[in-house]
Amino acid sequence: MSEPGADDQQAASRLRRWQVRTVATVFATYATYYFCRQNIAAALPAMQRDLELTRSELGQVTMALFIGYALGQLLFGALSDRYGPRWLLLGGMLVSAGLNVAFAFSRPLVPMALLWGLNGLFQATGFPATAKTIANWFPPGQRGRVAAIRGADYPLGSLLVMILAGWLAQHHGWRWAFLVPAAILAVSAVHTFLRLRAAPEDVGLPSAEEQHGRAGDSGEAFGGWAYVVAMTLGNRRVWALALAFFGLTITRYGFGIWAVTYITEQGASISGAAAIAALMWVGGIGGNFLAGWLSDVPLGGRRAPAIVPMLAALALLSALFPFVPVRSVWLLAIYLVAVGACTYGPDMMICHTMAMDVATRKAAASAGGFIDFFGSVGAALSVGLTGAIADGAGWGAVAGLWAGGAGLSALVVASLWSFRGGGERYV
């Protein structure tokens, strides 16, 4: 006979193994999503040269992704809550890979914008489905640290594809910056489908509510549309996070899309500019871990006190952007690492961890999609306006736009200073 408690120990060990597997799979999944999204940033200088496009026209093409992404967040967030993540991720990743191939062989300007906009639509399958998965597998007390780990996925994916795409654009032409990442994403899609399960209940393990000490309170896999609407559109905290994320993405995608172009204009090669710009995501990984640990451990689940100082620092760093001497490589490197840390720590907290905290796991994908919709609007405005402002008024005016976005985000998140999750029926 088993010793008393042996079955519980075996179940806990099995749960832990599945949780590790889930985080690792989600990490690889979302990192490779960015291979077919962030790759355009490294390709822009070569596209500008080869296709004779202005910065404003490049901004229009890039902006199309975020328009598609915004619409997709609303659609796929709801579908993730209703039907689960696995098939959604498989289809979204394969279609995005195919659209990158089509984009590589398209002609400017309208066909490119249309294809890149469709790519944004199917890229939007990634975030809500992965957020839903993490919310299902982990209770609130673990989500900050888990989000810190999985929040390193898209900075790492961005870093790797910036280096890869920059090298490909430099040595083989900009089209290869889309073809090779497409192949990587297609392989990752199959890996995700084989390895991922939507929730612990799917493999006979305790639900997130049971892990949180609420046995038998998990209910059905889908909480119903009334619950989803109440926890998203009827939730003032979700609206606050949406506004905060709108502001943050103005800054995030300003740097993320245009930094390579700016550095190239100062005399750097495409591959060199892409490599040094990738340091933002090195800092982003560190910022994710810092924000996640602070919010879970010393702050006991309060996220705002961990990230408001980061957002305030990001506003200041953004304002200083035109004054950083690009030819001083070490100073530029330190600056970009700091920008990344202050960007991606708050980014993951707002759109992922705090979304789960305020909407619970039953509406996590819909809330995350709703928040990311507003973030996508901010991103679209940022990449479009940055190109136009840089052409018309110079990079100094661009810095004011980016600083204002981060400042808005800091003010709004500060309104949630005392909030922590776990107080609703579902976690």
pLDDT tens digits along 356-397: 888 877 787 788 888 989 999 999 999 889 989 998 899 999
Q: What is the CATH number of the domain that holds 36?
A: 1.20.1250.20
Q: Report, as an integer, the average pLDDT of 281-294.
A: 90
Identify whether 216 is part of a domain: no
Count of structural domains within the chain: 1
Which residues does residue 302 pair with via DSSP β-bridges, in sequence order?
A: 420
Q: Report, as an integer, the average pLDDT of 177-184.
A: 98
pLDDT higher than 50, residue 1: no
pLDDT higher than 90, residue 64: yes
Q: Which of 98, 97, 99, 85 is nearest to 25 (CA)?
A: 85
**Residue 240, token pair as written in the block:** 């606050």
Cα separation, 295 vs 84, in Å, equals 28
Residue 393, amino acid: A
Identify whether 207 is part of a domain: no
pLDDT of 205 reads 87
**Residue 285, token pair as written in the block:** 């990984």
Question: What is the tens place of the pLDDT at every residue in 101-135?
Answer: 999 999 889 999 999 999 999 999 998 899 888 88
Cβ-based burial of 10 (10 A; exposed 0-12, middle 13-18, buried ≥19): exposed
How many helical (H) and strand (E) elements, i.e. helices and strands, does the chain have? 19, 0
Identify whether 253 is part of a domain: yes
In 3-state terms the chain splits into helix, strand, coil percentages (rounded to 5) of 80, 0, 20
Question: What is the tens place of the pLDDT at every residue in 308-356?
Answer: 999 999 999 999 998 998 889 999 999 999 999 999 999 988 988 888 8
Identify whether 203 is part of a domain: no
- Cis before 88 (ω within 30): no
Q: Report, as an integer, the average pLDDT of 272-300.
A: 89
Query: What is the residue range of 111's domain?
Result: 22-198+222-414
Identify whether 265 is part of a domain: yes
Whole-model pTM: value is: 0.80
Which 8-state DSSP code applies to residue 218? -
Identify whether 240 is part of a domain: yes
pLDDT of 225 reads 73
3-state secondary structure 242-265: HHHHHHHHHHHHHHHHHHHHHHHH
Identify whether 92 is part of a domain: yes
Identify whether 217 is part of a domain: no
Q: Report, as an integer, the average pLDDT of 60-78.
A: 90
